[in-house]
Structure 1
Amino acid sequence: MARHTAILLARDPGTVLAYTVMAMVLLTVLRPVYERLGTFGGPPIDQEAPGTAVMFTLLALDVAGQSLLSERTWHTWDRLRAGSVGPLTVLAGKAIPLTALFALQQAALFAFADAVYGFDLAAGSWRLALVVAAWSVCVTGLGLAVGAWVRSQGQLSAAADIGALAVTCLSGSLVPLPILPHWVAQVAPWTPGYWALRGFQAAVEGDAATFGRTLAVLIGISALAFMVAAAGVRPRRSPARERSR
């Protein structure tokens, strides 16, 4: 399953590649804006680069959802759910290459920010890599959860795009929370993007307490998302079989 999914992703990398390039363009265009807004406790790039990474990883969430929705389009969904493997095995096979893809997307953006705008990758070291991994797993789980329950491309696009935009705005990833309405700061901790953003910043700034807390929250959200996805791919008994019971 993992090999099959990796081959499909490699054959059609356009969406994630486009989002990566778009992230670099937005990072460049918004650079003067963040410089004028001020530091908010650190260099502006420490807010801009992680926020842009969170935003465009979320926008690529539909790639994960599509990996499950395609099974219905290709009429292989029932066979997949009726197989001998469990739902968690199916999801693991889908999740491994997707997680690697999202991690590469973030790595490319952070490398660009480091080379061009001075984002301190060296300061983040292994902590930044851990947050990248945790956030990649989280986005993969969220995408698979959506893909397991929607029934059409239109539903997937609506859920993924609206959800990604809402989380991006409410988490403070696009615009820093200090300049947003007060109520947004109250809502922000309920979004996964908020914790990813704080995790990236804590990794670079060396804030061990915040770093550990954000990792725990992201792992918890990931576990919940995969449980929702597993419920969506679990085989269901046919009505005739239920009556026989």
Structure 2
Amino acid sequence: MRTNLPHRLLLLARHNTTLRLRDPGHLISYLVMPMVLMLVFSPLYKSALPRGGEAQAVIGMLVMFSVLSLSVVGTALLTERTWRTWNRLRATPVSIVEMLIGKVLPVFVLLVAQQMILIIFGSQVADMPVTGSPALILAAVCVWSFTLLAIGVALASIVRSHGELAAICDVGALTVSALGGALAPIAMMPAWAQTIAPISPGYWAVTMLKAAVAGQPDTVTQAALILTAVGVVAGVLACVRISRGLKEPQG
């Protein structure tokens, strides 16, 4: 069966790509809304922060709405539980890792495309200066997308309903974004918030993406390692949970 691995992954990815393209509403809204907010808040941030105001507006909105995209990732798996097809897939020769890769790969591509479009939009329309190389920016975006996918899959393997997933994603997204400095620079936040900010993945995402557009590879590497570790832990937890079987969600 090892020789059929690429073929199995291709079939799973193609199937899940079709599912995502049939319901693109969330991804479209999470692309358009940050663009609108970038245009609205960019002058405000630029006035309040003479140095780095544009980057704060662009990267902050990008991180906040990419975290909101956790609902898209989680729904991709939770829907399989609703349809009662996930445990059936586990009875096939396809491994858990293969199923997860086939499930999240299309979403990963969409998340990367979404964030790269927002960075291009921010640089061309919101006047965010970009001195980092495209390769560095793409690498940072890929790391953040991987972390989001891993956390999203972990959440979807634990929650008991779509409503519970939506509540966790919405509240969690705002909390992670606010503590991470997506809405306001860390230096302008209360002392207690500055102290706990590094526990938020959003903090490292904002730090990494700002460093990427500014061309600071050392800072990007440090933040990327931390986010990768978070993603690996979340991914392992998801695999362990899924290997024990998933019950159909309630409601």
Relative to the length of structure 1, the TM-score reads: 0.91
CA–CA distance in structure 2, aligned partners of residues 204 and 219 of structure 1:
19
Specify which of 113, 117, 121 is matched with residue 126 of structure 2.
117
Map residues 85-164 of structure 1 onto 2, 5 A cutoff.
85-121=94-130, 123-164=132-173
For the 8 Å contact 2:205–2:227, the answer to whether it is kept is: yes
The whole-number CA distance in structure 1 between the counterparts of 2:129 and 2:81 is 44
Superposition deviation, residue 93 in structure 1 = 0.9
* Residue of 1, 16, 20 corresponding to 1:9: 20
1:71 to 80, 84, 89: 80
Aligned-pair distance for 1:122? Answer: 5.1
Unmatched tracts of structure 2, length 5 or more: 1-11, 247-251
Separation (CA, whole Å) in 2 of partners of 1:143 and 1:177: 25
Structure 2: distance between partners of 1:8 and 1:121: 35
* 1:78 CA displacement: 2.1
> 1:61 Cα shift?
0.7
Cα separation, 2, equivalents of 1:37 and 1:81: 53
User: Is the CA contact 1:81–1:233 (under 8 Å) kept in the aligned structure 2?
Assistant: no
**What is the rounded CA distance, in whole Å, between the counterparts of 2:74 and 2:223 in structure 1?**
24
For 2:168 and 2:93, how far apart are their aligned partners in 1? 30
Kindly report which structure 2 residues correspond to 1:1-245, keeping only aligned pairs within 5 A, or say none: 1-39=12-50, 42-121=51-130, 123-236=132-245
Percent identity among equivalent residues?
37
**Partner letter of residue 154 of structure 2?**
A
Q: Is contact 1:66-1:147 (8 Å) kept? A: yes
Aligned partners of 2:94 and 2:168: how far apart in 1? 28
Q: Is the 8 A contact 2:153 2:235 kept in 1?
A: yes
> d(CA) in 1 for partners of 2:133 and 2:185?
21
| Bigger Cα displacement from structure 2, 136-145 vs 111-120 | 111-120
Which whole-Å CA distance do the structure 2 matches of 1:124 and 1:26 have between them? Answer: 25
How far is 1:108 from its partner? 1.4
**In 2, Cα distance between equivalents of 1:5 and 1:12:** 11
- After TM superposition, the structure 1 stretch with the greater mean CA deviation from structure 2, 86-95 or 121-130, is 121-130
Q: How many Å separate the matches in 2 of 1:56 and 1:125?
A: 21
Answer yes or no: is the 8 Å Cα contact 1:82–1:235 preserved in 2.
Answer: no
Tell me, yes or no, if the aligned pair for 1:27 and 1:49 is still in contact at 8 Å.
Answer: yes
- Give me the whole-angstrom Cα distance separating, in 2, the residues matched to 1:220 and 1:164: 19
CA–CA distance in 2 between the matches of 1:194 and 1:110?
18
Letter in 2 for 1:31: S
The letter for the 2-side match of 1:206 is G
After superposition, the C-alpha distances for 1:201-239 in whole angstroms (9 at most, x for unaligned) are 1112222321110111111111111112112211449xx
Task: Look up the match of 2:9.
Answer: none
